[in-house]
Chain A
Amino acid sequence: MSQLEFEHVSYQYPSEDFDIIDDLSFSVEPGSFHCIIGVSGCGKSTIFRMTNGLLQPKSGTIRVGGRPIGEQNHYCGYMPQKDLLFPWRTIGENLALPLEIMGGHSKAEQRELIDDALADVGLEGCRDKMPDELSGGMRQRAAFARTMLTGSDLLLLDEPFSALDFLTRISMQEWLLGQWEKHKKTILFITHDVEEAVFLSGSVLAVTSTPIHALTEVPVPVGYPRTRECLTRPDMVALRENLIDVLRKQVQP
């Protein structure tokens, strides 16, 4: 059974006269790590926004864990590009947001879950800090911890590291792989950075045309766990160049 399944899904923005997602079908197996890569504005975020229920598809069915998403709640954790930590809440209170909204936890239970989640992302002792006291990488880790607290097995990460500086970004990538291996979640990760996609993915899902009719699955020939050294292997370099070629054809200079 697939973790996430799109079946003949179409979507049209009200302001456009064509379907940006046109009869798209694909599926993602449980426990996998896929990056969706594509040029800006190609509609890759639209796929996420339909999966998390912010947009309703015009036609077709989206299933998570085998059941249509319309019948379910709390089936996916969504982490947007900006960390969106609420500046008037402490880190701990920010992490409490999904718990408060989903309900069902006492204050003490919430506190315990939050402490565990913070320890998990290496932010012990930051619970009572305000978001502006944290660095960019720490904020993203806090936002990731908040996403984990939704308790969902499917995580949708929408360019979470694109605003970070290069060195922070590569250490966050390694960190994220560690988290994924530890928690066995299914991760879909949107990026427009080819190197990031190749380093993280089990296989890359490339958007090769707009409107999106299909995602081209490109397997990455390296197993996990990985280090950045694998990026220098000839087959990885070739894969990267190949992907860049495919994507560049869509960019009008």
Chain B
Amino acid sequence: MKKANRGNLPAAIFLFCLLFLWQLGAMKVNAAYILPTPIQILKRLWELRVALFTVHLPATMAVTCIGLLISVVLGLALAVAMDWSPLLQKCLYPIVVASQTIPTTAIAPLFVLWFGYGIWSKVLVTVLMTFFPITITVCDGFRAAKTEMSELLQTYGATRWDIFLKIKVPCALPYFFSAIKMAVPLSIIGAAIGEWLGAQSGLGYFSRRMMTQLDGAGVFAPIVLLSVVAMLMVAVVGLIESKVVKWRGES
């Protein structure tokens, strides 16, 4: 653990230098409504802590978690379906890819019209942005399973279900965790975009409101909060991964 921390030291120093340059630059520009300094942002974060942590963070987290959950279920279901039947793969794959060519931000206002200002229009934006990497990555994981291993189990009399459980699932597990690590930040971004476009609460909504008030530090404060939450969530996923996945790739 200590060694890992020492490995992060250069990154920390570099980050600090960047922040320092930002601080100097922003002080020179001296226009907090468009370019606040890091210190101003932290100050604003502290001033707004009650509203941010009790109202807007929970709202955004609700969207993120529901969206992520639906994405995982949907993404896994699609991946399993495409692995199970080549016909389904032929039908679904182009649609899954096409769904990613939709500029979500552009049509999200429509979702608000369809589903209202409640949580579900934001969840839809989140799911649209998040399920794709899960589907594709887990699908690749299934495909990484070696035919020779399946054949060996077949000579023992294994069914497709046996092969799925004993080979495909373990092969896809590391891929699944990679997918989740990609999906977590995407789901937070999705939730924030959804809120930006139309909402009554949430960090995205709050950031936009501050924009209309020309409060530069107030725009940044919720964004900093979002980044920190995303990093924490990815770290938690990494921790679970290191407990569950004991191997990666072929030895």
Q: Residues of A at under 8 Å CB distance from B?
A: 52-54, 73-74, 76-78, 80, 82, 84, 86-89, 97-98, 100-102, 130-132, 150
Contacts and interface: CB of A to CB of B under 8 A. Distances in A.
A102 B154 contact: no
Contact of A54 (B149, B151, B162, B250): B151
B156 A88 contact: no
B170 A80 contact: no
A54 B155 contact: yes
B153 A97 contact: yes
17 contacts: A53-B154, A78-B155, A84-B149, A86-B149, A86-B167, A87-B251, A88-B173, A88-B246, A88-B247, A97-B153, A100-B166, A101-B156, A101-B158, A101-B166, A102-B156, A130-B246, A131-B251
Contacts of A76: 155
A101 B153 contact: yes
Contacts of B155: 52-54, 76-78
Contact of A80 (B152, B167, B251): B152
B10 interface: no
Contacts of B154: 53-54
A190 to B, nearest CB: 15
Interface-central residue, A54, A78, A88, A100, by most chain B CB under 10 Å: A88
B11 to A, nearest CB: 31
Nearest to B162: A101
Nearest to B152: A84
B44 to A, nearest CB: 48
Contacts of B246: 88, 130
A97 B156 contact: yes
B163 to A, nearest CB: 9
A56 to B, nearest CB: 13
Interface residues of B, number: 20
B170 A78 contact: no
Majority DSSP secondary structure for residues of B touching A: helix
A73 B158 CA distance: 11
Contacts of A98: 156
B148 A84 contact: yes
Contacts of A84: 146, 148-149, 152
Contacts of A131: 251
Interface in B147-189: 148-149, 151-158, 162, 166-167, 170, 173
Contacts of A88: 170, 173, 246-247
Contacts of A80: 148, 151-152
Interface string B75-113: 000000000000000000000000000000000000000
Contacts of A130: 246-247
Given A86-B170, A88-B246, A101-B157, A78 B162 contact: no
Given A97-B156, A101-B158, A132-B251, 11 more contacts: A80-B148, A82-B148, A86-B149, A86-B166, A87-B247, A87-B250, A87-B251, A88-B247, A101-B166, A102-B156, A130-B247
Interface in B117-161: 146, 148-149, 151-158
A86 to B, nearest CB: 7
A78 B153 contact: no
A181 to B, nearest CB: 25
B148 A97 contact: no
B152 A78 contact: yes
A89 B171 CA distance: 11
Contacts of A150: 156
A118 to B, nearest CB: 18
A82 to B, nearest CB: 7
B247 A74 contact: no
A233 B5 CA distance: 66
Contacts of A102: 156-157
A101 B165 CA distance: 11
A98 to B, nearest CB: 5
Nearest to A78: B155
A98 B166 CA distance: 11
A130 B170 CA distance: 15
Contacts of B156: 74, 97-98, 101-102, 150
B152 to A, nearest CB: 5
Contacts of B158: 101
A86 B152 CA distance: 11
The 9 closest A-B pairs by CB, nearest first: A132-B251, A78-B155, A101-B156, A88-B170, A52-B155, A98-B156, A101-B158, A87-B247, A87-B251
B17 to A, nearest CB: 41
Contacts of B148: 80, 82, 84
